[in-house]
Structure 1
Amino acid sequence: MRVLIVEDEFLIASLLEAIVEEQGHERLGPVSTVEQALAYAPRADIALVDLGLADGNSGRLLARRLVDRFGIQVIFVTGDASSLQDGFDGAIAVIQKPFRDDEIASALAEALDRRRRSMWRANSG
C-alpha cells in the first residue's frame, strides 16, 4: 500500500516514515502543503494528514479533496482532535498526538483491510 505522509513537523514526519516503512508499506513524501500532497495523490492509497499544514491550509480541506477526487483513505494525525467534533471530513480515523507506533500501525492495517474489502466487493459484484 502506498502511504502519503502530510506533516509539517520534521520529527513527527520522520517517525511516521519509519512506522510506514516498518509495516511494509511504500512511503510517499513527507510533504507539508496541499499543493505538494495533491501532486502525490494520484499514486497514493492512503494518507496520514496533519490538520495544520505549512502553507496555512487546513488538513480538513485536503482530506475532503483526497477522498472526493482520488478515493484515498485518510487518517488524521493531529494534536487537536477536539477540532473534529463536527465530523471527520471523510477520514476513516483520527489519531491524537502524541501517538504510539502501534496506533499508526493499527490504523494502517484497518485501512488496508477496508481497501481489500472494497476491491473484493467491486470485483465480485
Structure 2
Amino acid sequence: MRVMIVEDENIIALELERIAQEAGHQTIGPVSTVEQALAHAHRSDVALVDLNLSDGASGAQLARRLIDRHGVDVIFVTGSPENVGHGIDGALDVISKPFTDERIVSALSQAEARRKDFGGKAAV
C-alpha cells in the first residue's frame, strides 16, 4: 500500500516513515503542506495526516479534499485529537501523539484490509 506522510515535524515524519516501511508499505513524502500533499495525492492510497501543517493550514481541511476528491483514506496522527472535530466523516482513525509502532501498524493494516474489501479503492 502507498502511504503518504503529511507531517511538519521532521523527526515525527521520519518515525512514521520508518514504521510504515518496516510494515511493508511504500511511503510517499514526507510532505508538510497542503500543496505538497495534493500534488502527491494521485500516488497515495492512505495518508497519515497531522492537524497542524507548516503552511498554517488545517490537516482537517486537507483530509476532506483527500477523501472527497482523490479517494485517499486518511488516518489522523495528532497531539490534539479533540480538535479533529466534526466534518471529517470518512477518516479511518485518529491516533494520539505520542503513538506506538503497533498503533500505526494496526491502523495501516485496517486501512489496507478496507481497501481490499472495496477493490483497491477508498470506501467513501
Structure 2 distance, partners of 1:38, 1:98, is: 26
Q: Give how far 1:88 is off.
A: 3.3
Q: After the TM superposition, which parts of structure 1 deviate over 2 Å for at least 4 consecutive aligned residues? A: 84-90
Please show how residues 76-95 of structure 1 align to structure 2 within 5 Å. 76-95=76-95
Equivalent in the alignment of 1:22: 22
Which residue pairs with 2:117 in the alignment? 117
For each residue in 1:31-85, what CA deviation from the matched residue of structure 2 results, as whole angstroms up to 9, or x when unmatched?
A: 0000000000001000000000000000000000000011110000000001124
More helix by share: 1
TM-score w.r.t. structure 1 length?
A: 0.92
> What displacement does 1:90 show?
2.5
The C-alpha deviation readout for 1:15-35, integer Å capped at 9, x for no partner, is 001001001100000000000
Q: Which runs of 5+ in 1 are unaligned?
A: 121-125
For residues 80 and 12 of structure 1, the distance between their equivalents in structure 2, rounded to whole angstroms, comes to 15
Mark the runs of 5 or more structure 2 residues left unpaired by the alignment.
none
Kept after mapping to 1: 8 A contact 2:64/2:88: no
Whether contact under 8 Å (2:48, 2:74) holds in the other structure is yes
Whether the 8 Å CA contact 1:60–1:89 is kept in 2: the answer is no
> What is the letter of the counterpart of residue 111 of structure 1?
A
When the two chains are superposed, the root-mean-square deviation of aligned CA atoms in Å is: 1.1
| Offset of residue 87 of structure 1 | 4.9
Q: Is the 8 Å Cα contact of residues 8 and 31 (structure 1) preserved in structure 2?
A: yes
SS, match of residue 119 in structure 1: coil
Q: Is the 8 A contact 2:51 2:84 kept in 1?
A: no
Tell me, yes or no, if structure 1 residue 6 matches structure 2 residue 6: yes
